[in-house]
């Protein structure tokens, strides 16, 4: 009776551990700007220092212009390690030379562009040698010779 109870307890404990380890995890990244502050931004009047003072530096800035972006995103990491975006909000602000916000726009997941990563390998010299070609090229070059 005690052995049967021990087996059931152990199998129950193991199944609970497996179930807990398979639950997705949620991660939140970025700066969440309140809707009220977004509504208070008046194009042509509000200075960017208002947001910098309240929320800190932008998540990223434009490389070729003075645009700034505040990003906030929520992701779920599934048990196999696959990342799934559940929400994304980006406050895009176009700024003039005086630091005044000229234009604001809000981007979300519906504005995303799916990018397929390149597949394949970049060919490099010596990457397509067979096993025997590698051994004989090492012997020919003297890499296995003793140094005295």
Strands, E, within the chain: which ranges? 25-30, 60-61, 68-77, 83-95, 101-107
Tell me how many domains the chain contains. Answer: 1
Distance CA 38, CA 40 (A): 5
Q: Residue 111 carries which DSSP code?
A: G
If one compares 134 and 31, the residue with the highest pLDDT of the two is: 31
Is the distance from CB of 48 to CB of 103 less than 8 angstroms?
no
Given a cut of 70, whether residue 138 has pLDDT beyond it is no
Q: Residue 72 is part of which domain span? A: 24-112
Q: What is the pLDDT of residue 94?
A: 92
Nearest CA to 62 among 28, 96, 34, 38?
Answer: 96
Mean pLDDT, range 106-114, rounded to an integer: 85
For position 21, what pLDDT does the model report?
64
pTM recorded for the entire structure: 0.60
* Average pLDDT for the chain: 81
Residue 128 lies in a domain: no
In a domain, 19, yes or no: no
CB 44 within 8 A of CB 102: yes
Query: How would residue 142 be classed by pLDDT, with cut points 50, 70 and 90?
Result: low
Q: Is residue 130 part of a domain?
A: no
**87 is a domain residue:** yes
Higher pLDDT, 73 or 147: 73
Q: Are 79 and 22 in contact (CB under 8 A)?
A: yes
Look at residue 6 and tell me if it is in a domain: no
pLDDT digits (tens, 9 = 90+) for 59-103: 888 888 888 999 999 888 877 777 888 888 889 999 988 889 999
2 lies in some domain: no
CB 88 within 8 A of CB 73: yes
- With pLDDT > 70 as the criterion, what percentage of the chain qualifies? 84
């Amino acid at each position: 009776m005690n052995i049967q109870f021990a087996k059931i307890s152990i199998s129950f404990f193991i199944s609970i551990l497996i179930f807990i380890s398979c639950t997705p995890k949620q991660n939140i990244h970025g700066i969440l700007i309140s809707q009220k502050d977004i509504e208070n931004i008046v194009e042509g009047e509000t200075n960017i220092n208002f947001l910098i003072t309240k929320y800190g530096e932008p998540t990223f800035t434009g490389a070729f212009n003075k645009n700034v972006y505040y990003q906030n995103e929520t992701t779920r990491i599934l048990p196999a390690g696959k990342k799934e975006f559940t929400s994304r909000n980006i406050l895009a602000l176009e700024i003039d030379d005086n630091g005044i916000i000229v234009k604001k726009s809000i981007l979300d997941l519906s504005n995303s562009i799916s990018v397929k990563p390149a597949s394949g390998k970049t060919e490099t010299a010596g990457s397509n040698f067979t096993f025997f070609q590698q051994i004989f090229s090492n012997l020919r070059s003297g890499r296995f010779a003793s140094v005295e």
